[in-house]
Amino acid sequence: MAVSETIRSFIAFDVENPQVIERITSMQRLLTETGADLKLVEPENIHITIRFLGNIPAKMVDKIYEGMKMTGFLPFDIRILGVGAFPNTRNPRVLWAGIAEGADKLRSIFNRLEPYLRSLGLPPDPKGFSPHLTIARVRSG
C-alpha cells in the first residue's frame, strides 16, 4: 500500500510594498542589537499567514487553491502598528508586527475561507486568526 504524499502548507499573502518591507527590516536590525538568539525572516519571505494548514495530502492543494480564488479579494494596503510575541512576551517563540489598517479585510478573507476548508475535512484553526507579520523566531530560551 502506497503512503499518500503530504505537504506542509499554509495560506499566505506575500508583502511586496517596499515601505512595509523596510519597516520590518528596520525592526529586525533593532532586534539583532539585543543579542537575542533569533532567526530573522528574510525580506523576500515576509508574508501574512491567513491559515496554517499543517501536513495535508498533496492532492488537496488544487482544491484549496480553488477556494482561495472564490474569496474574490483584491489587493489592498496594510499599516503596521505595534509589536508582540506568540505565545506571549514571557515565553516568546515568534516575534511579530501587528497590522492596523487592512486587518478587517484579512479577517474577512479568513472567515470566508474557514468554512470551505472545513468542508474539505480540515479541522478548524484552534488559534483563530490574528493578523500579523512574523519578524523573527526565537531559537533558544
Residues 10-47 have pLDDT tens digits of 999 999 899 999 999 999 999 999 999 999 999 999 99
Instruction: Let me know if 47 is a catalytic residue.
Output: yes
> Is residue 46 within 8 Å of residue 13, measured between CB atoms?
no
Record the pTM: 0.84
| Cell numbers describing residue 74 | 483584491
H helix or E strand, kind and range, residue 69: helix 61-70
Instruction: Let me know if 46 is a catalytic residue.
Output: no
**Of the listed 12, 25, 47, 125, which one is catalytic?**
47
**Of the listed 60, 80, 106, 132, which one is catalytic?**
132
Structural domains of the chain sorted by starting position, each given as residue range(s) with its CATH number in brackets:
6-138 (3.90.1140.10)
* pLDDT tens for each residue of 45-70: 999 999 999 999 999 999 999 999 98
